[in-house]
Chains A and B, each alone.
Chain A
Amino acid sequence: MRGLTAVIGLIALLLIYVVPYTVLEGGWALYLFYVIVSLVTLAAAFIETGVWGRGS
């Protein structure tokens, strides 16, 4: 799991820079897009840090 959040976070960041200027032109879909990529990154952080300090 090590590096999971870094990879997903980097992809999320890239999407935040690219998608709103190319694919999504606006509307509430753009709002949801921002929230969803952030939620996915947060979920990755929960998964990755869940094993910290447990001798893994």
Chain B
Amino acid sequence: MEARLALGLLVLALYLSLGTLLALLSRRRLASLTEREYYIAGGRLGAFLSAMTYAATTYSAFMIVGLVGFAYAFGVGSLGFELAYFVATLALLTAFAPRVWRMARERGWVTPGDMLADLLGSRALAVLAGLIYLVALIPYASAQLKGIGEAVAGLAGGSSDAYVYGVALGIIVMIVWSLVAGIWSVAVTDALQGLWMIFAGTALLAWLLGKINGTIGLSATADTLVKEGLMSLDGFWKFNVFLAFTIPWVFFAVTNPQVVQRLYMPKDERSLAGMIRWFGVFGLYYTVLVTLIGLLARAGSISGILPAVEDKDQVTPTLLSLAHPLLSAMVFTSIVAAAVSTADSILLTLASSASRDLSLRAGERSVLRGVISALLVAAAMVAVAIKRPLYIVGLSVASSMMLLPLAPVTIAAWLGKRPGALASVVSVLAGEAILAYEVAELISAGKSLKALFVIAPWSLPVPAWQLIVSTAIALLALLLKRS
């Protein structure tokens, strides 16, 4: 245990040192302290950095911890859920990214709020979007911070002091890596983190494959998974549940500000194309990889060569406790990397949104104001994470649904349609109201917010209702304007 802890911390320290060195070196790329340069690299990112920062920001610690556990517990539907996101994102990016990228350059957008205010002619919508981003993404980023705390605590045998040290370490790394050179330090460290995630995940899969092939054999493993019902959607993945999980994720590329902002960053169209292509390669490979790890681990548990795991979030930690200490240290570091790469991107995006979208006077906008906003957001993240609250998982789960009502008006704007300022705000608020009502119902019934994905009022899941109502209001407004 001592040797495993020491090696884990040593590899993590080496990784963090390398990342910090890269972040400091990236300051050379920061041409000036303007908001465009600090938040979107002045639109000068090449294909490699664009792709890696898009992928590392998108794929959080949820993949190597959460999705492995999902595949372990609920089988092949977990792959379908994540690949529904994947194909939708490729479709949305190829359809809209060139237009958004071009307009961002022509009109000087820095935040998604700038885009919404400009295209929909509503400053109120930018303020509303900025508030939704804060409410939705602070718990989501705090969950990443909590994940780092839990990972460090797990390595130290569950010590609560270690949890606090883990949270402190996580927030310091996020602040340094996101603020030392703005998006330049985020993008460069994201590239390192993305490569590390792929390398460590591949090594874990190879170890698991070797272990299974050397005992029960791959053919018997495949049969076991089919026999145990893990290769079908019976059980957990009822159609409504699948819809509830996938609808918010299908629109992730449209609603999440940290990825929308990345469409402004490539230096030319070829870099934008490269970003989409290599994000696609990364995403498909990483998704197949982590779901295979979960499925193989389950087959191992069924066959008795691995212990059975009750809590699906403990599948990866259990594998790490059995793997070679060096492999364990590499994967542990990749979990921290995935959490940091998602959370520091969110931190910088929220800082830009808070300082620009929520600023009442344009003259007050500055990088310094953004840095102060980032520190306030970081303080809020720590305040939430340090209490180790159980509701944080529920809130981060709800975050994807909080952002969903932004999808119809954003897509309308990208298509060059303007439902009007009031209708746009009402469309978003209606979707939020549906979510707020269902959350209040669950809380009053004493249920977890995770049930948001399982309940189906009037036979449809909550995200479907949000999408239908928000879209209907936007469409109605467009029809009324035309008539």
Contact = CB atoms under 8 A, between A and B. Distances in A.
A20 B237 CA distance: 10
B87 A16 contact: yes
Interface of A: 3-6, 8-10, 12-13, 16-17, 20-21, 25-28, 30-31, 34-35, 37-39, 41-42, 44-46, 48-50, 52-54
B102 to A, nearest CB: 11
A31 B76 contact: yes
B288 interface: yes
A35 B77 CA distance: 12
Interface string B57-89: 000000000000000000011011001101110
Given A34-B80, A49-B94, A50-B273, A41 B87 contact: yes
A35 B280 CA distance: 13
Contacts of B95: 3, 5-6
Contact of B272 (A8, A37, A52): A52
Nearest to A15: B87
Given A6-B94, A16-B84, A42 B284 contact: yes
B250 interface: yes
A20 B76 CA distance: 10
B447 interface: no
Contact of A49 (B88, B233, B273, B288): B273
Given A20-B233, A26-B232, A49-B276, A34 B83 contact: yes
Interface of B: 76-77, 79-80, 83-84, 86-88, 90-95, 98, 222, 226, 229, 231-234, 239, 242-243, 246, 250, 268-274, 276-277, 280-281, 284, 287-288
A44 B93 CA distance: 12
B103 to A, nearest CB: 16
Contacts, number: 114
Q: Which 3 A-B pairs have the closest CB atoms?
A: A9-B91, A26-B232, A53-B269
A16 B87 CA distance: 10
Contact of B94 (A21, A38, A48): A48
A21 B80 contact: no
A13 B91 CA distance: 10
A47 to B, nearest CB: 10
A45 B281 CA distance: 10
Most interface-central of A6, A9, A37 (chain B CB within 10 A): A9
Contact of A26 (B87, B93, B233, B277): B233
B90 A26 contact: no
Contacts of A8: 91
A38 B87 CA distance: 6
A9 B88 contact: yes
A13 B250 CA distance: 9
B284 A45 contact: no
Given A3-B95, A20-B233, A28-B226, A42 B80 contact: no
Given A17-B242, A26-B76, A9 B269 contact: no
B83 A5 contact: no
Contacts of A17: 84, 242-243, 246
A5 B98 CA distance: 13
Given A10-B91, A41-B91, A53-B269, 12 more contacts: A9-B91, A16-B87, A17-B242, A17-B243, A26-B229, A34-B83, A38-B287, A42-B90, A42-B281, A49-B94, A52-B272, A53-B270
Given A30-B76, A31-B76, A38 B91 contact: no
A45 B90 contact: yes
A20 B284 CA distance: 19
B79 A31 contact: yes
A6 B88 CA distance: 8
B343 to A, nearest CB: 27
Nearest to B239: A21
Nearest to B75: A26
A31 B231 contact: yes
Which of B80, B226, B233, B239 gathers most chain A CB within 10 Å? B80
Given A34-B79, A45-B277, A52-B269, A21 B233 contact: yes
Contact of A38 (B86, B98, B269): B86
A31 B287 CA distance: 12
A48 B87 CA distance: 14
Contacts of B274: 49
20 contacts: A6-B91, A8-B91, A12-B91, A13-B91, A26-B226, A26-B232, A26-B233, A30-B80, A30-B231, A30-B232, A31-B76, A35-B288, A38-B87, A41-B87, A42-B284, A44-B94, A48-B94, A49-B274, A53-B269, A53-B273
Contacts of B232: 25-27, 30
Contacts of A50: 273
